[in-house]
Amino acid sequence: MTIFRDAHHYNNNSSVQAVEANYLIKKLNLDLDHKTLLDIGCGDGKISAFLHHQGAKVTGIDASKEMISFAQQHFPECQFRHLAAEHLAEIDHDFDVMTSFNCLHWVHGLDEALAAAKSRLKTNGVFFGLIYPKCHELWDAAAWVENLPAYQQMDLPDFSNPYHFYTRESFNQRLTAAGFTRTELWQESKQAGFDDQVKFKRYISGWLPHCGHYPESFIDDWFARYAELTGQPQSGGVIMKYDIIFFVAS
């Protein structure tokens, strides 16, 4: 499976992403009725559809053609467009609300994307969403596996991690530099439970970029190291601890 190209896999194994997005939407409790809304990095479209059912007129954009195709097929009540966040300025109209869940840490041209978002946000509009800061055990396990001799000796192109790590402070600086004058960011510690190792590995392989680069054995070797670092039991369920940075900007 290539990262973010298997939309069906992502749709079936992205419960954490959906839960956290819905948590923020409900927490803010904004009036979205008849509001035009742009969902940046809409993925498979299920969160866009949830926003639509809150009354918003939703347009979703994503850099993955496969994700957009899936979203168009399954959520026709929304509009979807294949467009990377960095090219958001190509959209020729403004929005009352913008959202971005589980996306901006993947965007290489983040400053360009945020500046474009600000330029397409109506006066008194609001931009809200979430990103994930570095989960050290998760990424340390991945780095450990990719440096094993067995993987170093594979005839593969060099791996370049597309995930960008931000702190609450550094992401706030990016928002401010893009022209947002009112920002609120906060960080929460969370945990998610998985019934068994298979379900957890499916969740991880749906987004961990190494899984799209290395052979299928990577996820098993990764889990063994992650379980060691986090004290997971040898069998049964898995508990994943992580932090989230939530933001609201205008």
- Write out pLDDT tens, residues 154-164: 999 988 999 99
* Residue whose structure tokens are 């510690």: 189
**How far is C-alpha 1 from the geometric centre of its chain's CA atoms?**
18
223 confidence band (pLDDT: 50, 70, 90): very high
Please check whether residue 102 is in contact with residue 41, taking contact to mean a CB–CB distance below 8 angstroms: yes
CA distance 31 to 249: 16
DSSP state of 181: -
Domains with residue ranges and CATH for the chain? 7-249 (3.40.50.150)
4 confidence band (pLDDT: 50, 70, 90): confident
Mean pLDDT of the 211-227 span: 95
CA angle at 42 for the pair 38 and 45, rounded to the nearest 5°: 110
* Residues 130-189 pLDDT 10s: 999 999 999 999 999 999 999 999 999 988 999 999 999 999 999 999 999 999 999 999
Mode of pairing for the β-strands spanning 57-62 and 79-82? parallel
Q: By C-alpha distance, which of 101, 117, 242, 95 is closest to 174?
A: 117
Confidence check: pLDDT of 1 > 50: no
Compute φ and ψ for 82, nearest 5 degrees: -80, 105
CA distance 176 to 185: 12
Residue 242: is it exposed, middle or buried by C-beta count within 10 angstroms (0-12/13-18/19+)? middle
5 confidence band (pLDDT: 50, 70, 90): confident
pLDDT, mean over the chain: 95
Mean pLDDT of the 28-54 span: 97
* Residue whose structure tokens are 């509001």: 35
The helix or strand, by DSSP H or E, that contains position 122, with its residue range, turns out to be: strand 121-131
User: Which tokens belong to 195?
Assistant: 């019934």
User: Which tokens belong to 219?
Assistant: 């996820």
* Residue whose structure tokens are 């809409």: 42
Inter-CA distances, 128 with 105, 139, 177, 229, Å: 14, 26, 16, 33
CB atoms closer than 10 angstroms to residue 178:
19
CA distance 133 to 242: 8
- Give the pLDDT score at 3: 59
CA distance 156 to 213: 8
Using CA of residue 56, residue 58, residue 62, residue 67, what is the dihedral sign? positive
Confidence check: pLDDT of 243 > 90: yes
Mean pLDDT of the 219-244 span: 95
